[in-house]
Amino acid sequence: MSKTSRKNRSGRDETLAPPPVATVLNLALLALALVGMALTAYLTFTYWRGQALAGCPAGSGCDIVLNSRWSKLFGLPTSFWGFLVYAGLAAVALVKKAETQWKSAWLLSFFGVLYSLYLSSVSLLELNAACLYCLVSATLFVGILATVAYQRPADLPNFSWRPWLFKTAGSGLILVLALHLHYAGILGKAAGPEEPRLRALAEHLTKTDAKFYGAYWCPHCNEQKEMFGASAGRLPYIECSPLGPKQPQDPICRTANIKVYPTWFINGRRHEGVLTPGELAHQSGFKEAAP
């Protein structure tokens, strides 16, 4: 046997081993991701078509959740963002480099679990309602995360669970906190500078004894507020559902016979639904001051 062969056997002169490679398609991850894509695609498609979801009659828990202000993010249904995450996981399942595949799958599924837990907590604690579709999606994300954790390659270089969890959990929680601040109106348009015309209109509505009846969980009420940006706090808003959906209305709203959110009373006339600033200015007789 040659000296070269003996050196190779000793391992001293061998070249560095290539990074671990996934030798087969990650079928488990791909299958779970495709189920999630099908679910969120159905939810998104029915939302955009304005159709009713199967098993989700008007007034049911899922109807309340899927029509709340938490059902949209940056103007798009939350299910659409979920579809993108599941699609990302499906794409990751095709990556051949094991380290890249595993870390990417962990980050996507871990954030999916955190965001699902946040939305589930909101639906149960804030809305007092549960959505079967949302719970199924949350369960899928938990299942994907558990699968990914089980599949961790044994030869990941310089890997330790404690710093990895600390880093990913911290980043995920910061992102979820930012989303919560967005939903709460602390970040976004409501946090920006006031537009003089909208501020003047909001103050005029309050001075002329107009009334804006709504509910904090109502997406159309939040749409109405968003039209006024940072001046929304100056609107003559009356909260009709402080205890949440399916709970007794505030007595003021019952006395006013409020059936639809939002409902406006302007100059003695009742208006149901969202009104643009232009319509509110016309109905209230608002005239913008000359510059």
Among residues 124, 110, 109, the alpha carbon closest in space to that of 70 is found at 124
Question: How many Å apart are CA 141 and CA 116, to the nearest integer?
Answer: 8
pLDDT score of 18: 54
Q: Per-residue confidence at 250, pLDDT binned at 50, 70, 90? A: very high
Least-confidence region, from 40-49, 155-164, 254-263: 155-164
Domains identified in the chain and CATH numbers? 20-183 (1.20.1440.130), 193-284 (3.40.30.10)
pLDDT tens-digit map of 168-223: 999 989 999 998 888 776 766 555 577 889 999 999 999 999 999 999 888 888 88
Query: What sign has the CA pseudo-torsion 240, 242, 248, 251?
Result: negative
pLDDT at 190: 53
Q: Are 26 and 89 in contact (CB under 8 A)?
A: no
| CA 213 – CA 237 distance, rounded (Å) | 6
Most confident range (mean pLDDT) of 109-118, 162-171, 220-229, 240-249 is 109-118
Contact between residue 93 and residue 32 where contact means Cβ atoms under 8 Å apart: no
pLDDT at residue 7 in the model: 44
Conformational region of residue 244, where left means phi above 0, alpha means psi within -120 to 50, and beta covers everything else: left
Q: How far apart are CA 110 and CA 92, in angstroms?
A: 14
What tokens does 95 get? 């990556």
How big is the chain by its Cα radius of gyration, in Å? 26
pLDDT in tens, 25-83: 789 999 999 999 999 999 999 988 878 888 888 778 888 888 787 888 887 899 999 99
Residue reference for tokens 């779970």: 32
Mean pLDDT of the chain: 86
